[in-house]
Amino acid sequence: MVDIKLLKQILQAIHDKFSSIYQKVLKKDISDAQEQTVLASVVLIFQQTQTFEIISIANGTKSVGKKNMSELGNLVNDSHAEILARRAFKKFLYDNLNNPKYFYINDLNKYVQKFKVLFYTSQTPCGQASIFQNESKNTIAISSNCIQEQNVEIESISNNDAQADDQKQKLFQNTGAKYYSFLYDEKYQVQKDQQSNILRIKPGRSDLPQDSRSQSLSCSDKIMLWNVIGMQGSLLSELLDKPIYIDYFFIESDGNNIKDFKEIVRQGINVESRLKGKFKSKHLIESVLKWRKKPISKKYVFKNPPIIVTKKYFFKLNRNLSQNKPKYLDQHIVYLSEYIDNNGEKKEEFTEIINGSSGLKWGMGEKGSKIPKNYPFICKYNLYKAYCQIKHMSSQKSYLVNKENSIKYNLIKRQLLKLFRENIIDKKQYDNFCIQEQ
């Protein structure tokens, strides 16, 4: 388990860095960001030295509707903070595979990681992890100023007592994420959104036209997938010795019922918890990790990272956004730390603003958005370009072709999704692009 002192340092460093970025980029005080609601970060931990590096930070709550999706790979369709932070981390991985600080190459010519991954989020991911029941009608108080780990309270990490007041909040909370079948089910029933063990799409108004709804899975569902197939994606899975999993899930809470809170989060992001009512453990393994009763690959597992809870530090308003939101709330900041890339060149820390509603760089018009140099640095096109560079390969083959070559990764992902008995929409048309030769 991570040292508590190190956790405090990580939490403070994330918030200090984001506060600095927010003021520098948006020219606003961080107190103006309260309605932005979600902050996420990927942090690498080096256990031998008890040191850490913040790799990516992002904030955001928006996603792109179907009618605005592109077949060029030039958009970021899902701009929720957790997803943006992970996409920036993927960019970091592509650029650092040959950096001995982070990887070494084994006898099978595969890259082996030399770090642990801590994934931080300022609130529960949308979807299953955000459903809080209140069967006993109990209430929970705003959390005291501490980190809690394995249900043990430790010393304060901050002197900001203003966030530890006497307000109380009901344990009951619904998710706004719609069940997946909502994409093609005209007989929408709002109560079905709150059922357990279903897949969901991103939150949104139920009265939106079909072509305006997000096609993206909820953050709970995506993190659940990462806990089986890894954070690295399909292309990198062919280069790595094993998937890169979340080793520690670090999350803020505004309540003091830590045991129940952790169980709700686990229910949302852990596949065994999600499906324990439908499948016994052995049957679940057979259904996901085996093909014709033989292991698909021994490197894939059901990862169940420890959930570490800290008091609510930022964005106390959660997702209760006001109706008259200022325009800047569509501005989602994505930060990538400085590092030495595969060519030994130092990359300065990089910050980009994504328009969460369009998936484009902030301020980019429709005409300019189709020019590759104007694409967001974490869009599929640029991540695929990074893959082609690390492989020293021609980019004439489409992203889709190379993605489908990751047979084991894709098989496990498909088998996992099938367990939820949803008619998953085929989105291959959005992956059939090539890199334009310069």
pLDDT attached to residue 187: 66
Taking only the tens place, the pLDDT of each residue in 145-156 is 445 543 333 333
Looking up tokens 């084994």, which residue turns up?
A: 106
For the entire predicted model, the pTM comes to: 0.89
Average pLDDT (356-381) is 93
Q: Where are the alpha helices (DSSP H) in 360-429?
A: 380-391, 399-404, 407-418
What separation in angstroms does the CA of 48 have from each of 51, 115, 230, 233, 427? Answer: 8, 10, 23, 27, 43
The residue that leads in pLDDT, 137 or 217, is 217
Mean pLDDT confidence for 143-172: 39
Interatomic CA distance for residues 351 and 23, integer angstroms = 12
Rounded average pLDDT over 103-109: 96
On average, the pLDDT of the chain sits at 84
Nearest to 418 by CA among 269, 289, 287: 287
State the average pLDDT over residues 79-86. 97
Rounded to 5 degrees, φ, ψ at 409 are -55, -50
Average pLDDT over residues 381-398: 89
pLDDT (tens digit, 9 = 90+) per residue, 255-272? 768 888 999 999 999 999
Rounded to an integer, the average pLDDT of 333-348 is 91
Tell me the pLDDT tens digit for each residue of 186-207: 666 666 666 778 899 898 877 7
Residue with more model confidence, 80 or 1: 80
Q: Which residue ranges make up each domain of the chain?
A: 4-430
Q: Is the pLDDT of residue 277 over 50?
A: yes
Output the pLDDT for position 174: 74
